[in-house]
């Protein structure tokens, strides 16, 4: 059976502005990277959205109030295989280009990415999530994959973390899009053909999202 998806409130806006961090959070020791987050405003807009898992208008971005991370929420990102599905349903992908504006004098890298969703996999079925990201004009990070095997009927989560010595920072003083490439796959060849398996990375109420943790440092003066 197909899962019917609606476009929820998460896709209503493609631009959310972050408020200034409180003095307490600005002075706290950074969890990732070399510096504490800047206290100025950060804005992120979705420049382009492409892929079978995210039509335009189905992805929203929000910056954490303390400037430590941002989230991407999808509303129609689902791969499925098995009964009543088409071959093209088994693989979905999404490529998002983000225009990130940070306070002057600072640059950022992505230290960690947390991916979340829901999966219902019949016995013998396999789900796969993989992702990579890069700054415009730079090489993509190594795509990291996470495999889930049926039987599975629960929320799923995976994390990709980069060591501090391997962080790639946005070039200081240059405007570069930050690109995120994600993919979901479901293979149901080893399961009962009468059953449908799916893997989703979406939310109709904003409660499920992917989270990207910033690492900050000040640019040379």
CA 35 – CA 16 distance, rounded (Å): 24
So what's the pLDDT on residue 35? 78
3 state SS of 177: coil
Q: What is the pLDDT of residues 18-44, one digit of tens each?
A: 333 333 333 344 555 567 899 999 999
Tokens 């999202």 sit at which residue? 209
What global pTM score does this model have? 0.81
3 state SS of 28: coil
So what's the pLDDT on residue 34? 61
The pLDDT averaged over each successive group of 10 residues in the chain (221 residues) is: 35 33 39 75 93 91 94 94 96 96 93 94 97 85 88 94 88 91 96 96 74 93 82
So what's the pLDDT on residue 10? 34
CA 47 – CA 36 distance, rounded (Å): 27
- Rounded to 5°, the CA angle 59-156-82 comes to 85
So what's the pLDDT on residue 143? 80
């Amino acid at each position: 059976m197909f899962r019917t998806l609606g476009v929820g409130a998460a896709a209503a806006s493609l631009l959310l502005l972050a408020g200034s961090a409180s003095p307490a959070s600005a002075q706290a020791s950074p969890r990732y990277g070399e510096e504490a987050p800047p206290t100025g405003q950060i804005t992120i807009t979705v420049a382009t959205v492409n892929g079978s898992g995210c039509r335009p208008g189905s992805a929203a971005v929000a910056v954490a109030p303390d400037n430590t991370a941002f989230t991407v929420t999808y509303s129609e990102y689902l791969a499925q295989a098995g009964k009543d599905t088409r071959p093209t349903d088994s693989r979905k992908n999404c490529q998002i280009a983000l225009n990130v504006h940070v306070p002057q004098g600072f640059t950022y890298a992505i230290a960690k990415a947390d991916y979340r969703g829901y999966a219902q996999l019949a016995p013998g079925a396999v789900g796969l999530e993989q992702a990579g990201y890069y700054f415009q004009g730079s090489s993509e990070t190594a795509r990291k994959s996470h495999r889930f095997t049926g039987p599975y009927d629960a929320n799923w989560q995976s994390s990709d973390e980069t060591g501090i010595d391997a962080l790639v920072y946005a070039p200081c003083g240059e405007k570069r899009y930050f690109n995120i490439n994600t993919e979901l796959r479901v293979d149901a060849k080893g399961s009962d053909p009468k059953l449908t398996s799916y893997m989703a990375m979406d939310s109709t109420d904003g409660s499920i999202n992917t989270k990207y943790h910033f690492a900050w440092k000040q640019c040379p003066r």
